[in-house]
Amino acid sequence: MNQNDLYLIEGLNLKKERKTQIYIISEPLGLKLLDPLNLTFKLLVYWSNEDVLLDWNDYLERTCSNGFYFKLYFQGQEYKIEGSAEQLSTLYDFCIGKFIFKKSNIYQLNRIISTNSQYELSVVTDVLNNKQYLEKRILSGFISQGIDVSNSFDTQSGLDKIPEEIRIIQLLNAQKCPYIQKVLSICYDGEHYSFIYTNQNLISLKQMLKIQHMGLALAFIIEIIEQLLTVLNIFQELEIIHNNINLDQIHYSLDSNSIIFNSFSNSTFVCNKGMPIKCNTIGFIPPEYLSNKYLISPQANIFQLGTLFYHLLFNQNPFGNDQQTKLKNNIVVKYSIPNIQMDKDIIEVLKSMMQINPKKRKTPKEYMCSKIFKPSYKSKISKNSFLKFLKDNSSSKIDEFEVEDETTSIQKVKLLSFNKKKN
């Protein structure tokens, strides 16, 4: 600890308008407030506590009087914390995406883009810098119910007030998960939770396939899958199921040349038992969702990734063209590999990901050790363009396929019953 950790606090068991010094230490779980004399704990403010709210509005709106400060509302108490401009800037950057902020008046509604029963998506303008951002305001949907969102400590009662999507975003930001949408602020306006983010130059994988009629370069596909596995490895550790790993929901950033997870509306924690399974796109549904034989786990992410991998390699869904056929084959995981020459190591990874038994699928970390992600292998395939690959295999039959609308989804798929073909 040093002088940069030393702040002034008002309201900590003190008489009104009295201030005292306090050390504030930033840690992955939140903030520790220590007595500067004996370093004993005064407050432990975890970002996952349901009754913590930070008010940075005076700081953001530049209306702070008598120095720089922000307000902390915690366990029914209000605290005012003062520091230098540099201290507050550093602390603010740490809190973004982890703590919930009282919504600032600097964000003014510009226009509503879309709305449904779950959320409202709008364009908001920062009146200070005249820049526009996107705000997703969560109206309803699945909520967290007493779950251990940090995987290291129990949260207090009342967590069901905060949407599960918000908790997942907080947890991923706390873990510094790469390839996710950068959040400018997670807000609460007294009625609804929302998060504000920059509108990036993104293109969905579905759009990319439509534009590249000849298919994507193999080296590029391998790079996408490796980046997705990096994120899924963190999902595995945090026991998160994404439930929307498909062509529509996975985007590519033309600015950073990397994939971006920018939606967690359908994601859920494994420990949130008893909740209905959230919607999942037909043709990407993990088979364990429709069977009582296997427990649902983050290995469901791997199956979705395998289907996405197939799509990118062969420009078609593995289970068919029309929705009825896709659903029927998706249930029993019936598919075939197109008759084109493809490296056996890639096919082995693909088949492993699409195992009907989730226990037979490898973990993301194990897949990342596969030969196809080694630098030497990627270097070899990058030398051969995808056009050359097609030329070398021109004698093989490749059926034309136009990517269909993948928006059809199933709500509460466990409630459906099908006549399954016995193996």
| Confidence band of 419 (pLDDT split at 50, 70, 90) | very low
Lowest mean per-residue pLDDT among 145-159, 246-260, 298-312, 360-374: 145-159
CB within 8 A of 310, min separation 6: which ones? 316, 317, 318, 335, 350, 354
Fold of 202-415: Transferase(Phosphotransferase); domain 1 (1.10.510)
How many Cα atoms sit within 13 Å of 319 on the Cβ side?
A: 26
Asked if 27 and 36 count as a contact pair (C-beta separation under 8 A), the reply is: no
Mean pLDDT of 170-177: 95
Residue 37 has pLDDT above 80, yes or no: yes
Q: What are the start and end residues of each CATH 3.30.200.20 domain in the chain? A: 107-197
Strand (E) or helix (H) holding 79 = strand 77-83
Element (H, E) at 91: helix 85-95
Assign 86 to helix, strand or coil: helix
Q: What is the mean pLDDT of the chain?
A: 84
DSSP string, 16-37: TT-EEEEEEEEETTEEEEE-TT
First-to-last C-alpha distance (Å) of the chain: 64
CB-based contacts of 186, cutoff 8 Å, min separation 6? 97, 98, 99, 100, 101, 166, 169, 170, 193, 194, 195
Place of tokens 């709500």: 411
3-state secondary structure of 193: strand
pLDDT of 380 > 60? The answer is yes
Tokens, residue 40? 């004993």
The least confident of 159-168, 236-245, 366-375 is 159-168
Fold of 3-95: PH-domain like (2.30.29)
Lowest mean pLDDT among 1-5, 272-276, 314-318: 272-276
**Over 50: is that where the pLDDT of 395 sits?**
no
- 240 within 8 A of 269, measured Cβ to Cβ: yes
Q: Which amino acid is present at 354?
A: M
**Residues 308-333, mean pLDDT to the nearest whole number:** 94
Which part of the chain has CATH 2.30.29.30?
3-95
* Positions of E strands within 84-181: 101-102, 107-115, 119-126, 131-138
Sorted by sequence, the CB contacts under 8 Å of residue 255 that are 6+ apart come out as 200, 201
* Class of the domain covering 107-197: alpha beta
Distance CA 338, CA 6 (A): 64
Q: How far from 165 is each of 7, 154, 170, 389, CA to CA, in Å?
A: 33, 18, 9, 42
- Region of poorest pLDDT, from 20-24, 144-148, 335-339: 144-148
- CATH 1.10.510.10 domain position(s) in the chain: 202-415
Report how far apart, in Å, the C-alpha atoms of 190 and of each of 48, 161, 173, 257 are: 18, 11, 23, 38
pLDDT band for position 306 (cuts 50, 70, 90): very high
Give the per-residue pLDDT at 62: 81
The pLDDT of residue 183 is above 50: yes
What is the average per-residue pLDDT within 78-96?
95
At residue 160 the predicted structure's pLDDT band, cuts being 50, 70 and 90, is very low
- Specify the pLDDT at position 332: 93
Cβ-proximal residues to 409 (8 Å cutoff; 6+ apart), any chain: 279, 280, 281, 282
Residue 145 pLDDT class (50, 70, 90 cuts): very low
pLDDT, greater one: 314 or 397:
314
Q: Which range, 226-230, 291-295, 411-415, is most confident?
A: 226-230
- The answer to whether residues 300 and 290 touch, using CB atoms and an 8 Å cutoff, is no
- The answer to whether residue 61 scores a pLDDT higher than 80 is yes
Asked whether the predicted pLDDT for residue 65 surpasses 60, the reply is yes
Q: What is the pLDDT of residues 231-273, one digit of tens each?
A: 999 999 999 999 999 999 999 998 888 999 988 999 999 876 5
User: Residues 202-222: what's their mean pLDDT?
Assistant: 90
pLDDT of residue 17: 64
C-alpha pair distances (Å), 280 with each of 77, 244, 248, 407, 414: 42, 6, 12, 9, 11
| pLDDT at residue 414 in the model | 39
302, burial (CB in 10 Å: exposed 0-12, middle 13-18, buried 19+): buried
β-bridge pairing 101-102 and 77-83? unpaired
Q: What is the pLDDT of residue 15?
A: 59
**More reliable by pLDDT, 25 or 404:** 25
Judge whether residue 416 has pLDDT over 80: no
pLDDT at 166: 95
